[in-house]
Structure 1
């Protein structure tokens, strides 16, 4: 049954698809195609089916036991079904490549949609486009704890002025992209797997502290920064609790 649906086994190939070669075989030239040694009593010529290429029998045994030995080394015709471990490896690699292609396709489509949406907003009269763009931006970043940290630091403290090396805005975009691609990668395997809000917010807090804590030399500024991050977490939890709209996959 396996031979019928998956191809013949290596042993079946050796028993029934390897036949002695003779002088009338079109592809026999009295020299082994693998080792280039002449055929003789200790180096018998055999013809393999279905491609009819001719090799020395000992050389053929060496070839079929090597990686990709299930393929003819000359024409790459399949001779027998590969070992299970090679098949699994090929399936895994193929699956990963397909997943990457799906993700790239989705990202390109999403980028096109966002660009089209942005251009459409610019065409609205009376500044409505700016208002809608701001609302849309708040919706996207509303469960990103970087968003609240950035607002608090920029509006209520002079922390950024005393520590210009802080890149809260850039970190906010990087974290959002990381969460976006995390959810996007789960789409081909059964839809968006919604990451719990507390996990998203907590991971954001850790990301903020790891990327910025060592950049602040003053202990006073570190204390202020820690308070801002803690308040940002509480605001994020409050917004997540009262938000009437569930995550749509882009709201991360």
Structure 2
């Protein structure tokens, strides 16, 4: 009988190939099959991170999202389209594994932290062997770039999605000592308003493209009026107990 292969969800780290783990690097450079997510017509950031590292004979499977920002997230068609997409991707990966192939799924950041790989994992676990390789997250790279610790002592850290309603953002920002706001992009004005209402705007920092080419770090108040790119993170540092 043909042995069953393994799906490897490999976290590539925050964006700088030099920050990739040794295990991730080893798996990428020896892969026979790689799969990665991308927007239609784009190369895909995960794929770009491993440029020059893949073996010459590697077989690539690009998983192109059927929708990104064309439909509101809350619209039922959005969820239906993505559900069918993940199911189709899973079927292809399962067929490779059942033929005895190992597949490396390239993941931006950490596979289990707001990543698309999680949707594959939930559909595959229990049927095939799935191995997950953790990685440094983009938010860790962002607060490192800011040059300040994100938490001290007993600080409570909240990671908040900027896609949430403004009132919900305000509630979470007020409740936490330190805050990481992700998925900024076109939500930047809502984030600014929420931080002002929570009394935290003056201490917020904006980090764009953390650990990547084009990285910028500045007070959010210094970027007033600008629309930020998708790979942006807003930080509110904690200021808790210390010796």
TM-score strictly above 0.5? no
TM-score normalised according to structure 1 size: 0.24
The TM-score with structure 2 as length reference comes to: 0.25
Structure that is richer in helix per residue: 1
